[in-house]
Chains A and B, each alone.
Chain A
Amino acid sequence: MATLVIAEHDNKTLKDATAKTVTAATQLGAGVHVLVAGQNCSAVAAAAAKLAGVGKVLLADDALYAKMVAETMETLILSLAGGYDAILAPATTNGKNYLPRVAAKLDTPQISEIVKVVAPDTFERPIYAGNAIQTVQAGAGKKVVSVRTTAFKPAAATGSAAVEKVAAASDPGTSKFVGEELSKSERPELTAAKIVISGGRGLQSAENFKLLEKIADKLHAAVGASRAAVDAGFVTNDYQVGQTGKIVAPDLYIAVGISGAIQHLAGMKDSKVIAAINKDEEAPIFQIADFGLVADLFKAIPELEEELTKLGA
């Protein structure tokens, strides 16, 4: 039986997280179908149909799924689950929200945030904030798995699967979407950016984060933050990189004024190259940084901006 991947999207565009989850799904060795649940999201379904390895796209286009509320996603996925051996979702806040409901109703344990498919029933996943890697084997029955997308390359857009409409499932009617406050930014998304520049408590204020934004604009980078910076109110929660925030693995991660608590390292230590600027030469971040600069960030950052301007960035 095939593997079902639940798509991550915003009703307009298919997120990269879906293409990466498809890659993990193809490694299970069976066919891959993608479920796009949303409202007025046919463009998303069309994009999913192009992903290499996808045999079929199921489109559930209904107001019920506009915001992927967990209770409605649960009944929809359960209505389709009979035809699948495995159900995979990206470990986004949406996937983390609805997927355990599906597993519980199927009476099967969920395997969270896999970083490697060892065999179709065996996976690696980080535990203890990535300080240990667990290799875990699923038992008989359906597999319900969430995927840490930074660990997989996106499937190429070379396919041409058919899109099939599926009916909406029942609405438990127990929860209602009220509203949302989404950060608007011209910069790339934190989890998809090739370069991330993050600030910590060392930045000292929300105002000073603008220093990082200027650098980010020159480098086409995303801006991230440590928990300390978010807790202090310098930036909003969606900037947080770490064990319980966003997991990133860009080509270049620049940590500015971040000491490097293990909970932060858990969110960025798989970056290809890590650069750190911190005035405390004992800061733990230097133990994992490829390039460390011991300096006052308020001198180093304007200088960095100047040098980048010279380079024509």
Chain B
Amino acid sequence: MHRTNSGRLKTSVSASLADARDELLIAGPFSQGISNAMKVLVPVKRVIDYNVKVRVKADQTAVDLANVKMSMNPFDEIAVEEAVRLKEKGKASEVVAVSIGPAQASETIRTALAMGADRGILVKTQGEVEPLAVAKILKAICDAEKPDLVITGKQAIDDDSNQTGQMLAALLGWPQATFAHKLELEAASAKVEREIDGGLQTLEVKLPAVMTTDLRLNEPRYASLPNIMKAKKKPIDEKTPADYGVDTTPRLKVLKVSEPPKRQGGVKVKTVAELLARLKDAGVL
């Protein structure tokens, strides 16, 4: 829906309305007291693009990321979209995008800014940072920024850990609503429909809270060209883990990264009857 030209146009118009409102809020000393002036923090991760075919390095130490297209983790895109929509609806006053990663993660933050986030925080790191260390850095940022809501992807498509949001919530002592399918934000709480194994579950969590996104929460927009240009002027703060007193040395030791056993393609059958016969022979029918 948001991937059409008209959708983009609409997006940029409403975004500028939101910006105007934002200036009003920031201008006055009373902005803190306005009940709907919520701050939303959106952690985003730079990962291998989801369309790239992954290859393991010959020395089996890691996946080969040299000259590979990198993008924002798709679940984090959904998180940014949800936060920006809250702003467009007047429910949030500010959206802060945070990324923890190499210098190039600033591009990931720029993407979030082009989608409508207001400012960014880049915490520069080298090498792998485990979810627990990421959660500790995010906790320190939350202590300083005091957001009402943190929205992030339920998992990153590189390490598939599905931990960071939950760990952050625990460290902060906040409630969580993971795998969000639908969000209804109230003044002091959020009602979140979640995707669970058996179907859908609705939770009500007190704010501040952490929410992690599932696939069907929304369909992220493409940033429009004017918004991409505007994003270049939005501020990004640069920090290091040391600024937050967090040691990012990995606690787990990766002994090896290997190719999974390859599954060989089998045979083509010509008819449904032949398919059934083959399945019977294979002993699975």
Contacts and interface: CB of A to CB of B under 8 A. Distances in A.
Interface of A: 10, 67, 69-71, 74, 92-94, 96-105, 107-113, 122, 126-139, 172, 174-183, 191, 195, 219, 227, 230-231, 236-238, 243-244, 246, 251-252, 262-263, 269, 272-275, 277, 281, 286-295, 300, 303-304, 307-308, 311
A69 B163 contact: no
Contact of B160 (A74, A97, A126): A126
Most buried by B among A99, A134, A136, A236: A134
Main secondary structure of the interface of B (DSSP, over half): mixed
Contact of A227 (B132, B201, B215, B258): B215
Interface in B89-136: 130-132, 135
Contacts of B173: 172
Given A103-B132, A175-B205, A273 B260 contact: no
A180 B201 contact: yes
Contact of B170 (A74, A108, A176, A311): A74
Interface of B: 48, 50, 53-54, 56, 63, 75, 130-132, 135, 154-155, 157-171, 173-179, 181, 191, 194-206, 209, 214-216, 251-260, 263, 265-273, 275-276, 278-279, 282, 284-285
A307 B204 CA distance: 50
28 contacts: A70-B178, A100-B166, A101-B166, A101-B169, A101-B176, A104-B168, A105-B170, A110-B132, A110-B161, A110-B163, A129-B160, A130-B260, A131-B63, A133-B258, A135-B256, A135-B257, A136-B252, A175-B204, A175-B206, A181-B199, A182-B198, A182-B200, A237-B199, A244-B75, A262-B53, A292-B267, A293-B268, A294-B268
Contact of A109 (B56, B130, B209): B130
B215 A307 contact: no
Contacts of A273: 279, 282, 284
Given A243-B157, A243-B160, A174 B174 contact: yes
